Amino acid sequence: MRNFAGTRLAVRAILTVFAKEFRENLRERRTLLSALILGPLLGPLLLAGGLSLRLERGLGEVDRPLALAVAHGERAPNLLAFLREHGVTVTSVDYEPSAARAAVRSGREQQVLAVDADFAARLAAGLPAPLELYADASDLTAAGDSARLRALIQQYSALLGRLRLAARGVDPLLLAPIAVQDIDVSTPASRSVLILGTLSYLILITMLMGGMYLAIDATAGERERGSLEPLLTVPVHRELLIYGKILATCAYMILSLALTVTAFAVVLRFTGLERFGMSVNFGPRVALEVILLTLPLVPLGAALMTLVAAYTRTYREAQTYLALVLLVPTVPLAFAGLVGLRPRPALMAVPSLSQHFLITSLLRAEALPPGWVALSVGATLALAALLVVAAGGLYRREALLG
């Protein structure tokens, strides 16, 4: 049926199935929730929430007073004065070593500083004066405070060292033979990627979730309900039926994608990353470019989910397998992160990974090489076409009825 009338009929059949699936799912609460509300709202809110927490913590760490328990603090009054001047709140405790250990391990104290009995004597004699710092290295939340404290004590020690040299008529600068100057080439936009690196992953996941329920309903759901067989009795080529369903899935995914990216663009405006010398490069133009870059993944994701769901028997089985399929785009991203992959022309042929690199580049306000974009779009669409044809082939098979 390769004549013009045939093509027109084919297009009309695809659009008929598309229109029905699209409209029917507008009445399906689960699909709407997942595609239009959960993904687009939850993703940005989670990101913004996580960001704020991390930033507040980072900010607070520098300004927040550090609580320190000191045992035998009377043996090192000048050290304690120094610490107090630099924002440390000192509380005196009466711990023997085992008691100090137990206090930190149980979490009663975050860290305990114990001053040895011969601290003052050795200090006066110009010998290393011992202090014990009890801390829990496996406690990540205390890591910041421990580092701060250690830095302060080092500062005090260096101060004493310089005073001793000066007292002996030696220039303290002799101890600093090399001066390293850090020159930072990062831009505010590129720095923002440290925090926003997961953005591309979140966008991909919510996009897939947008079409997931429709993909399941249109295949496994159809079979489970018994509505597949009547559908196969109409005078329409079978693969056209699945093409129409994939198209409807694409429509929901595009809606979800557009809403998600818009939500991110809005939310990121209010995160206050500027306070940290980062700028968020996610204005309307970038948002549109991100959407366009991600569009080729829509038919790929739709065809993949439809294909997998079409193999399953029941709605529940489809849900299980599609949840696994949602992980598929994350594998290249996780791999890239672990192995420390940098963008390369060859990698632009890997769907999902190429979009991740390109989106990250956009966030860094870098120019996108047109060749890379072309390769990314081409390779993704080629794989999508392959999967669509495979889905059509599946629908022609008899075993479809189960």
Partner 1 sequence: MIEAQRLEKHFGRVTAVREVSLRALDGRITGLLGPNGAGKSTTLRMLYTVLAPDRGDALIDGCSVVREPLAARARLGVLPHSAGIYPNLTARENILYFGALQGLKRSARRARAAELVQLLEMEEFADRRARGLSQGERVRTALARALVHSPRNLVLDEPTNGLDVMAVRALRRLLLQLRVAGHCVLFSSHVMQEVSALCDEVVVIAHGVVLEHGTPDEIRGRTGAGSLEEAFVRLIGATDATSRGPG
Binding site for partner 1 (CB under 8 A): 1, 9, 12-13, 16-17, 20, 24-25, 27-28, 225-237, 398, 401
Longest pairwise C-alpha distance within the chain:
103
CA torsion 246-303-340-141 (nearest 10°) is 60
- Nearest approach, Cβ of residue 10 and partner 1 (Å): 11
DSSP assignment, residue 313? S
- Nearest approach, Cβ of residue 385 and partner 1 (Å): 24
The neighbour count for residue 261, using CB atoms within 10 Å, is 26
Instruction: Label the pairing between strands 111-115 and 66-71.
Output: parallel
Nearer Cβ to partner 1 (53/234): 234
Nearer Cβ to partner 1 (15/379): 15
- Nearest approach, Cβ of residue 34 and partner 1 (Å): 16
User: Between the CA of residue 383 and those of 193, 252, 389, what are the distances in Å?
Assistant: 29, 20, 10
Token pair 């009795």 is at which residue? 233
- Nearest approach, Cβ of residue 324 and partner 1 (Å): 27
Q: Helix or strand or coil: residue 93? A: strand
- Nearest approach, Cβ of residue 17 and partner 1 (Å): 8
Nearer Cβ to partner 1 (140/401): 401
Nearer Cβ to partner 1 (12/316): 12
Nearer Cβ to partner 1 (22/282): 22
Nearer Cβ to partner 1 (25/380): 25
Nearer Cβ to partner 1 (19/368): 19
CA 211 to chain centre: 21
Question: How far is Cα 257 from Cα 294, in angstroms, rounded to an integer?
Answer: 8
- Nearest approach, Cβ of residue 240 and partner 1 (Å): 10
The neighbour count for residue 135, using CB atoms within 10 Å, is 19
Question: How far is Cα 154 from Cα 102, in angstroms, rounded to an integer?
Answer: 26
Nearer Cβ to partner 1 (212/293): 212
- Nearest approach, Cβ of residue 228 and partner 1 (Å): 7
Q: Under a CB-based contact definition with an 8 Å cutoff, are residues 301 and 208 in contact?
A: yes
- Nearest approach, Cβ of residue 246 and partner 1 (Å): 17
Q: Under a CB-based contact definition with an 8 Å cutoff, are residues 298 and 250 in contact?
A: yes
Nearest to 353 by CA among 367, 365, 339, 366: 339
Token pair 């559908």 is at which residue? 231
Question: How far is Cα 171 from Cα 163, in angstroms, rounded to an integer?
Answer: 10
Instruction: Write out the two tokens for 292.
Output: 């366009």
Question: How far is Cα 329 from Cα 289, in angstroms, rounded to an integer?
Answer: 20
Nearer Cβ to partner 1 (17/278): 17
- Nearest approach, Cβ of residue 214 and partner 1 (Å): 12
